[in-house]
Amino acid sequence: MTVKISRDAINIRTELKVLSKQKKERVKLYLPDAFQQQGNLVTNGSFDTTDTSYWSSNSFTTISGNGVASIDGTGSSNQIALRNSSVFIKGVVYLVSIVCSSHTSGNLSVYLNNVEQTEQIDGIGTYNYNVIGDGDGRLQFLVRSGNTILSLSSILVTRLVWVLPKNLEVDKVFIDGDLAREGANYDYRLITDGITNWLEKTTVPAASTEIAVIGEYK
């Protein structure tokens, strides 16, 4: 007996082969131990140009394109040296890193979200702060004493994120072994620039934070 296979049956068989090849691969991955930095949000944060558009500043603060912001607050106290009123988005976690490259005297107070930080800039070195944006959002440097003379060579503001593998559709996320919930008011959120995808915690991550994801490759 001769069995005839219709053209429709042949087409269905071909489609099944294609679908089989397109089957998604389900994986569990541990993301790198160290979180990544998602670029500097500060315009001219290394002071390589004379662009001061990011800041409102005082006359005793000079940005002349030589790689530093020079602050000479002689005779001034409790005066704002640099300020941007809308740096931090509510609920987003940031690293703020400031490099003081020269110091003659005095100190700067650092305000994040209108909260004065305990650690002041009072000598040469790198000063790191973690902050979660709130309704205020400001980054501000205040000359505290009337003899403050110093230079800043870098101001970095960056979101703390974990880079996700390309084409991975995330299904579940575990943070330090616990099942996490997605959303700005929960444990994490997923963000993208259209090319790269990131996972971002909604609380300040510890250096030892372990992130595991379960998902499928597209």
Note whether residue 96 is domain-resident.
yes
Beta bridge pairs of residue 191: 198
Domain final residue, candidates 138, 159, 180? 159
One domain for residues 186 and 131: no
Domain residues for 118?
56-159
What residues contact 161, with CB distance under 8 A and at least 6 apart?
A: 35, 36, 37, 38, 191, 198, 199, 200
Note whether residue 81 is domain-resident.
yes
One domain for residues 65 and 154: yes
**143 vs 81: CA distance, rounded Å:** 6
Domain final residue, candidates 142, 159, 176? 159
Instruction: Give me the pLDDT at residue 5, please.
Output: 43
| CB neighbourhood size of 88 (10 A) | 24
One domain for residues 165 and 155: no
Instruction: Give me the pLDDT at residue 34, please.
Output: 59
One domain for residues 171 and 205: yes
Instruction: Give me the pLDDT at residue 90, please.
Output: 86
CB-based burial label for 10 (10 Å; 0-12, 13-18, 19+): exposed
Question: Which segments in the chain show pLDDT lower than 50?
Answer: 1-10, 16, 19
**What's the whole-model pTM score?**
0.76
Domain final residue, candidates 129, 159, 189? 159
Note whether residue 93 is domain-resident.
yes
Instruction: Give me the pLDDT at residue 77, please.
Output: 86
Instruction: Give me the pLDDT at residue 3, please.
Output: 44
